[in-house]
Amino acid sequence: MAVKKQTFEQAMGRLEEIVSKLEQGDCDLEQSLKLFEEGARLAAQCEEQLDRAEQKVSLLLENGDEVPFAAGED
């Protein structure tokens, strides 16, 4: 069964939850390992998504394309 990738925001939110749980220190070793594994997977996913976004922005800037920004951003 394929696992559906989360959005960047969803993955970061879950990663923050995992870090919080691990910092509390209330989990047993087995649960801590499972959380750590999930966190490592989510961190890699976020890094991959950020790398793709950075490449896209770099490509747009190289090509001289206008980069659209939301109104009010200077």
pLDDT (tens digit, 9 = 90+) per residue, 16-31? 999 999 999 999 999 9
Q: What is the mean pLDDT of residues 6-11?
A: 95
Give dist(CA 49, CA 12) in Å, integer: 11
pLDDT for 61 equals 83
Average of per-residue pLDDT across 23-45: 96
Mean pLDDT over all residues of the chain?
86
Across the range 50-72, mean pLDDT stands at: 77
Find tokens 């976020």 and name the residue. Answer: 46
Average of per-residue pLDDT across 3-25: 92
